Structure 1
Amino acid sequence: MMNEDIKHDLIQSLSKNLRVDLRKNEDLRSIEIETGCVATAEGSARVKFGDTEVIAGVKLAVEKPFPDTPEDAILMVASEMLPLSNPKYEGGPPGVDAIEMARVIDRSFRESRCIETKKLCIQKGEKVWSIAIDIAPLNDDGNLLDVGAFAALLALQNTVFPEYDGTKVLVDKKTTMKLPMVREPITVTVFKIGNAFVVDPTETEQTSFDARMTFAILADDKICSMQKGGDTAIMEEDLDIMLDIAIKTSQELRKKIPR
């Protein structure tokens, strides 16, 4: 829990569009991107927003499809909040934060239909490719969800298929085939702190938020998923402001995607 005096000073500063690290309320921190950083994964990415750092990896396998989607690839997203990333996390089963991150990112990929899953069917009802995305924070200094989602997207784009001989996957032999990705959902969370709206908060800022909205946004500025957080209600006029900020931020992040 943040000291009330510190929170008051933070809100006063944000009301003047000024943050502790001298950014404006809608400014992102410096961004670093590295792809192909995990040799044992089919695709991977390491992303840093300021001091928040996340690594994401993708593993491919051939599995039996779900009965209700016999021609579609299987997509799974998992995240683990490592104690090394922040003392507030503990070892053991995934906590609320890890579960929420995985579900929100999973929904952004599914609802955007960013992967043409039917193209990954090998034999209807018997064999399809499965795509497992693992997300691990290396350091949590705020805005972990957005950084994790961006890392997961870049890891998918970096993914290359291994050879498959009809019976088993030859993990040591890579092909040149990439995932059939047709869209790029960008996840942006806008936080309301007092009467100010902030993107990419540090941990100190995030600790004091009243409400937040997470949007997954496509290149045409369409929204494919949303998630609310925090106990404070969000008024319609606030939602409009938050959406405009999220769209603007997604456009900025889209320019950072390696081409």
Structure 2
Amino acid sequence: MSEEFKEIIMSHLRKDVLSNSLKKGERFDQRKFDEFRSIEIQKSVIKNAEGSAFVKLGNTQVLVGVKFDVVTPYSDRPNEGTMVTNAELLPLASSTFEPGPPDENSVELARVVDRGIRSAECIDVKSLFIEEGKVLSVYIDLYVLDHSGNFIDASSIAAIAALTDTKVPKVEDGKIIRKEHKGKLDLKALPVTVTSIRVDDFWLVDPTIEEELAMDSRLTIATTGTHVAAVQKGKGSLTKKEFLDNLDIAFKRGNDIRKLL
């Protein structure tokens, strides 16, 4: 029997066991269907970064560092700073992550976190203007250290936590003075994502890795306290009612998370 065929059989067995548990109203870790795992947040964990945070969501662990650089602004937005988000899924985090250039999962993670921050107008980019032809660019680097499920939300929380910890460096003669700061980064909103997956007819918030392996659909919604900032649909489909139900949960759980930031 080939390894691929064995994995197909194991996948079906895992889903059958999980489905039977969900039909009884139970998740393997005893959480409610709309309940997050425990969230731990530590800030200022990288001394050489302008801002940083370490987040542990259940057993999923993410580290985020924030740095600045002086760059030329976009021609159509000469008075606004820029933002770049990068994500790396470290091989030590999961046996499914491989070394090398970013794969589609890394690219998707960076894109989802970036879109939530950008669409919510979280950062006051005009405050990053230096002088004509020069602005500050914010670099947000995400590192998934341990993948036990839902690294999207863990990364989103860590990114916003790091931004709330970020100090803007002083700039003299077009160069950054790393050890001197002019104040905290001006944030206008705190967007966070809430990810749910569907297994058969059941929607589960903050899925574990075991639940993700059995999922039929995935939906990630980034909210601020007042509006939807971004939506990312993974595999599968969903109805309008399912979307609206998940939207309601995203606002509720998003507000819970913002209280921790």
Counterpart of 2:184 in structure 1 is 178
Aligned to 1:226: 231
> Which residue number corresponds to residue 191 of structure 1?
197
Identity of aligned residues (%): 37
Q: Which amino acid aligns with 1:119?
A: S
Residue in 1 aligned with 2:96?
88
- For residue 51 of structure 1, report the CA deviation from its aligned partner: 0.5
Q: How many aligned residue pairs are there? A: 253
Superposition deviation, residue 176 in structure 1: 4.8
Structure 1 residue aligned with 2:125: 117
Cα contact 1:36–1:45 (8 A) shared by 2: yes
Confirm or deny that 1:6 pairs with 2:11: no
| 2:79/2:135 contact within 8 Å kept | yes
Give SS of 2:89's match: coil
Match of 1:145 in 2: 152
Question: What code does the residue aligned with 1:181 have?
Answer: L
Over residues 34-84 of structure 1, what are the superposed CA-to-partner deviations in whole Å (9 max), with x where a residue is unaligned? Answer: 000001110000000110000000001111111121111110000011101
Name the SS of the counterpart of 1:47 in structure 2.
Answer: strand
- Aligned match for 1:253, one of 225, 248, 257: 257
Query: What CA RMSD, in Å, does the superposition of the two structures yield over aligned residues?
Result: 1.2
CA contact (8 A) 1:190 1:245 kept: no
Per the alignment, in what secondary structure is the counterpart of residue 244 of structure 1? helix
Which residue in 2 is equivalent to 1:239? 243
1:167 aligns with 2:171: no
Q: Which of 32, 43, 52 is equivalent to 1:44?
A: 52
Q: Which structure 1 residue ranges, 4+ long, deviate > 4 Å from structure 2?
A: none
Q: Distance in 2 between matches of 1:30 and 1:176?
A: 35
Deviations 1:196-252 (A, max 9, x none): 1111111011111111111110112x111101001x221112111211222221121
Contact 1:160 1:174 in 2 (8 A): no
Q: Which moved more, 1:138-147 or 1:246-255?
A: 246-255
SS state of the match for residue 100, structure 2?
coil
Match of 1:127 in 2: 134
* TM-score, structure 1 normalization: 0.94
Structure 1 stretches of 5 or more lacking a match?
A: none
Q: Is the 8 A contact 1:15 1:195 kept in 2?
A: no
- Aligned AA for 1:174? E
Which range is displaced more, 158-167 or 23-32? 158-167
Q: What's the TM-score once normalised by structure 2's chain length?
A: 0.94
Unpaired runs of 5+ residues, structure 2, are: 1-6
